[in-house]
Structure 1
Amino acid sequence: MPTASSSRRTLSRQRAEPSFDSIEVDEPTQHNVEDVEEDEDEEPRPRRPIVKKAKKKEKMRQTAQERNVDEDVQEDDDPLENFGDQPLDRGQAQKLAGMASDWQTIKRKNLTPYYTVIRDVSTAFAEFADEEQSTEFLEEMETLVRQLLDTETELQAHEQTLIEINQKIARNEAITDIIDRYDKGVDRNLDAYRQRTTRQKYAKSDEYAHFKQAIFEVQNPGVPMPPLTDFIPREDGDESDDDEDVVVGGVTQDYKCPLTLMPIVDPLTSEPCGHSFSAAAIREFLGPHRIAKKKCPASGCNKYICLNDLK
């Protein structure tokens, strides 16, 4: 029947086309192909191990370690340090002799002129000033002369040390520790001087004798000056005052050879210091070289003499 047929079609259409009003719309459980492809593109890529960065850091670390090792090796293998000090040759010994003469020049130019100035000023003051003023002033001048002599001895300590090293090189002795030898040699010479008594330091000094002589002649005209030891109190270590020296107006002459301690035979006198020796003894002491200087063997003398200085 028409009516029934129409109703069935309507029902079939309703079933085939369900109403969205009566059906709850859910999110689709599956994506279409395009959505899946887009999602796959948007998904984060799987994290890979940072192998390259780790390797790079490791390589940099190894390079830094190798660089530090190389620097340590370079420091340890310093060629100059391993080379060591070399012995001085004769050419360098000549330079030492020149340096020794430089100390002598310093003394001659910077110290010697002041002795004359001090002596002239002191004699003028002793002649024209009253006794009280002159006594105090002359004591200060005498102290100044002694200080100059001390400084002169210090310069001679440097000079003598260089001469000694030069002589050792001339005897083919290997000298590698030049600085250490020089420092110790200077200290040794200065210590020996400091251990002397006041008499031993100044009583045989020509400059000190000239200073005292000039003042004494002004204060005591026409009177011979006694020996310098009379002006310097005796200390422990000084020889007895009643020695065998012959004293003439403040100048001391010893007729015993300082080397043999016997009466002088065939005397030779040193021009720089005035000391006399037995000819055979002083020649043996100085050696065969006529210009090779050695310290005068007379007690308390700081002069250096050679065969050419003997007359």
Structure 2
Amino acid sequence: MPVAGPSRRNRRDASEDGIEEAMPTQGTDDVVNDDEEEQSRRGAKVKKEKSKGSRKTAQAVEAEDNDDDDADADPLADFGDQPIDRAQAQKIHGFSQDWDMMRKTKHVQMYGLVKDAATAFAEFAEPDPASKLLIEMDTLMRDLMDTETEMLYHNKILHDLHQQIVRGEEISNIADRYDDEIRTKVAEYKKGTSRQKYGKSDQYASYKQAVFEVENPGVGMPPMADLIPREDGDESDDDDDDVQVGGVTQDYKCPLTLTILVEPLTSKTCGHSYSAASIREYIGVRGGRQQCPAAGCHKSISLGDLEPNKELAKKAKDAARRERMREEDSDEGEVIE
């Protein structure tokens, strides 16, 4: 199982409290269900192990649900100070894989939970509380990204050590060497500015886009440079082209019906999406391959190119609900003479 670096536990203390504070006690039953609360608790437990100076395995983090004392074991200590042979190298490889599995199966799930909670806060909370809650959720999102980055470091360093042993290189005191490399990597990462750590992250851009859409319907998200202020150590805004790229206004309308997407299917050929019933009728009547009906697209598509898009379906459903709410608010505001 993978071994946690010396900075894992303190992170969890802050993030676990952050999760509890960020989740309000009222109005979020439709956002955080029992399964998601369990994921939140276990995700926070992973983060808490991030920074208290002991090396932990992913399985040890899991074991804490039953016995916290057992989680203090240090599996790399079993290797001692002697050179590692190839048979032992397989265990190192297993530790690396466990870090990657824990990141993919548990930690990454938290991104969707935080994004859903933040968009709900933006949509339903009063302006002042929403602002405070959204600041907390943004901080939590960044904490999750920090934790994932450290998980990637554990995975890569263990993988590299395994490869060196397989190549016949002699490695002694592997536990100390592993800890030293983790400390160095984490220290370098922490020195980075907010733009350097988050500005080019697809996960963070997706989060910011989702919240911005709720707060500013029909408006394209500004460049990330406007959302992540420049700090000492950043290049000037004019030079940082990657951060200057703005968001795209999401269109949730089917190009055939011109209404909000229903059970959207997305083309693997061109990436455009359509309501399931309308695109099946469009292609089915003609048969074979047909030109994509999206404006300006010249790709040809067939029914075999289409696949369900659950994430887009959820977004389209939320967009339809917000549109209905805006129409209702507009109707209530009209004065009937």
Say which SS state the counterpart of residue 84 (structure 2) adopts.
coil
Query: Which residue among 245, 248, 257 is the counterpart of 2:241?
Result: 245
CA RMSD of aligned residues (A): 2.0
Q: Conserved in 1, the CA contact under 8 Å of 2:199 and 2:224?
A: yes
Structure 1 residue 155 and structure 2 residue 147: aligned? no
Say which SS state the counterpart of residue 161 (structure 2) adopts.
helix
Q: Conserved in 1, the CA contact under 8 Å of 2:90 and 2:162?
A: yes
The offset of 1:166, in angstroms, is 1.5
Structure 1 residue 186 and structure 2 residue 182: aligned? yes
Q: Can you give the 5+ residue segments of structure 1 that lack an aligned partner in the other structure?
A: 1-83, 252-311
Amino acid at match of 2:205: A
Structure 1 residue 229 and structure 2 residue 225: aligned? yes
Query: Which residue among 116, 128, 131 is the counterpart of 2:127?
Result: 131
What's the TM-score once normalised by structure 2's chain length?
0.47
* Aligned match of 1:164: 160
- For 1:226 and 1:200, how far apart are their aligned partners in 2? 18
Identity %: 52
Say which SS state the counterpart of residue 228 (structure 2) adopts.
coil
The verdict on how the C-alpha distance between 1:90 and 1:250 changes in structure 2, with shifts beyond 3 A counting, is farther
Amino acid at match of 1:103: W
The verdict on how the C-alpha distance between 1:132 and 1:153 changes in structure 2, with shifts beyond 3 A counting, is same
What's the TM-score once normalised by structure 1's chain length?
0.50
* Aligned match of 1:122: 118
5 Å-filtered alignment, 1:180-219, equals 180-219=176-215
5 Å-filtered alignment, 1:1-311, equals 85-243=81-239, 245=241, 248-250=245-247
**The 10-residue stretch of structure 1 (164-173 or 232-241) with the greater mean CA deviation from structure 2:** 164-173
**The 10-residue stretch of structure 1 (96-105 or 237-246) with the greater mean CA deviation from structure 2:** 237-246
> Deviations for 1:91-129, whole angstroms, at most 9, x for unmatched residues?
322221221111112222332111111111111221222
- For 1:241 and 1:167, how far apart are their aligned partners in 2? 40
- For 2:94 and 2:170, how far apart are their aligned partners in 1? 20
Amino acid at match of 2:204: Y
Q: How many residues align?
A: 168
Amino acid at match of 1:225: M
- For 2:232 and 2:215, how far apart are their aligned partners in 1? 31
Amino acid at match of 1:107: R
The offset of 1:176, in angstroms, is 1.5
Amino acid at match of 1:92: Q
Q: Conserved in 1, the CA contact under 8 Å of 2:221 and 2:246?
A: yes
> Deviations for 1:33-91, whole angstroms, at most 9, x for unmatched residues?
xxxxxxxxxxxxxxxxxxxxxxxxxxxxxxxxxxxxxxxxxxxxxxxxxxx84322233
- For 1:232 and 1:198, how far apart are their aligned partners in 2? 7
**Structure with higher RCO (Cα < 8 A, 6+ apart):** 2
- For 1:85 and 1:248, how far apart are their aligned partners in 2? 50
The offset of 1:235, in angstroms, is 1.0
Amino acid at match of 1:123: T
- For 2:82 and 2:126, how far apart are their aligned partners in 1? 65
* Aligned match of 2:271: none
Amino acid at match of 1:120: D
- For 2:200 and 2:87, how far apart are their aligned partners in 1? 37
The verdict on how the C-alpha distance between 1:241 and 1:249 changes in structure 2, with shifts beyond 3 A counting, is closer
- For 2:240 and 2:105, how far apart are their aligned partners in 1? 37
- For 1:171 and 1:194, how far apart are their aligned partners in 2? 32
- For 2:177 and 2:237, how far apart are their aligned partners in 1? 39
- For 1:225 and 1:90, how far apart are their aligned partners in 2? 52
